[in-house]
A = this chain, B = another copy of it.
Amino acid sequence: MKAFQLQSFGVEHLQPVEVPDPQPGLGDVLVRIHAVSLNRRDLLMVLGKYDPTQPLPLIPVSDGAGEVTAVGEGVTRVQVGDRVAGIFAQKWLAGELTPEAHTSTLGGPLPGMLAEYAVLHEEGVVRVPDHLSWEEAATLPCAAVTAWTSLITDGHLQPGETVLVQGTGGVALFALQFAALAGAHVIVLSSSEAKLKKAARLGASMGIDSRAHTDWERVVLDATAGRGVDHVIEMGGATTFARSIRACAPNGKIWVIGFLGGNLPQLDLFTALRGKLQIRGAFVGSRRSFEAMNRAIAAAGMHPVIEETFPFGESVQALQSLRSGDRFGKTVIRIA
């Protein structure tokens, strides 16, 4: 089969190769990958910045969707013909994060999805909603599950609560869509009026232009009658964190989305403590959360937002596109 392999760290070392077709063993399924989506983690992995000890060569990219074309002995959960996506951490089936989840992630340390086929254990895939295209289904494993697990599984978002979403990247837009679906107010922060308009069409109740309002936390407080927001989808930038803390209602939860690099800035301790704020690391989620999310996506007929789609042969360009700053939705590669 055709695949892209990383021979040594660096985007320029991501090469198309021809490798033997993988074969499903006991309990495994063979998936014909139709599309993958990219996350910042994939870029950091390729650059050697996510885990410099990752053995190479590696087929990168964690998120992909496709059709089951063969199953190994003993498989009962999945059938040939099922439309599935891989789960990011193959060993995280339910409940809270475990250490072993970290060593079971696709696209490093385990082989990824940037290939025509992948073999996964039957426990490591979920069925995707029927109404989604392959490209749409491929956007779910990291970005959507991160947003869902934070706001819904862990955050118990309620109708009438307010969510502040920073930016319009993959996790941000899923957070916006899920929060709107759950009956919450959503305030989106972006440096682009055009993006704010698109966010409004996705269900945002309010948009704040972060260039026009550098003290945007005041706008947030005004818009919530001084109360502040219940949840922040925080991109962890040095300039935003202190403002996020001030924008929170008591007991507010700041979900810090990872892999944006750098350290967190110093925190305004006094404000954070007096509000009993929670600063919480967001790190994808379990298969159980993925399945619950899929039921919600199916029930609502929701569609993920795709910004751009590249053909398989232009996978390197797709990864490079991720480096450009401001985004609106996911970058996808169509494989077949």
Residues on A close to B: CB < 8 A?
25-27, 93-99, 102, 152-153, 156, 158-161, 178, 181-185, 205, 227, 236, 250-251, 256, 258-259, 262-270, 272-283, 286, 288, 292-300
Contact = CB atoms under 8 A, between A and B. Distances in A.
A29 to B, nearest CB: 15
A279 B299 CA distance: 26
A281 B288 contact: no
What copy number does this chain have within its complex?
4
B299 A160 contact: yes
A199 to B, nearest CB: 17
20 contacts: A25-B26, A26-B26, A96-B250, A96-B288, A97-B275, A102-B274, A158-B182, A160-B292, A160-B298, A160-B300, A183-B183, A205-B299, A256-B272, A262-B269, A273-B281, A275-B283, A278-B278, A278-B280, A278-B281, A279-B279
A212 B228 CA distance: 45
A285 B105 CA distance: 26
Nearest to A96: B251
Contact of A267 (B25, B26, B93, B264): B264
A276 B266 contact: no
Contact of A266 (B94, B258, B263): B263
A178 B183 CA distance: 9
Which of the listed residues A27, A156, A275, A276 has the most CB atoms from chain B within 10 Å of its own CB? Answer: A276
Given A160-B295, A181-B159, A183-B183, A258 B283 contact: no
Contact of A152 (B158, B269, B278, B292): B158
B178 A159 contact: yes
Given A96-B276, A160-B292, 13 more contacts: A97-B251, A99-B227, A158-B182, A158-B296, A160-B294, A160-B295, A160-B300, A183-B300, A185-B299, A265-B266, A267-B267, A277-B280, A278-B278
B288 A95 contact: yes
Ranked nearest first, the 7 interchain pairs of A and B with the lowest CB-CB distance are A160-B296, A94-B95, A95-B95, A273-B281, A160-B295, A258-B273, A159-B296
Contacts of A294: 160
Contacts of A102: 274
Contacts of A273: 256, 258-259, 281-283
A30 to B, nearest CB: 17
Nearest to A152: B158
A205 to B, nearest CB: 8
Contacts of A293: 160
B278 A279 contact: yes
A294 B160 CA distance: 8
A93 to B, nearest CB: 6
A155 B89 CA distance: 26
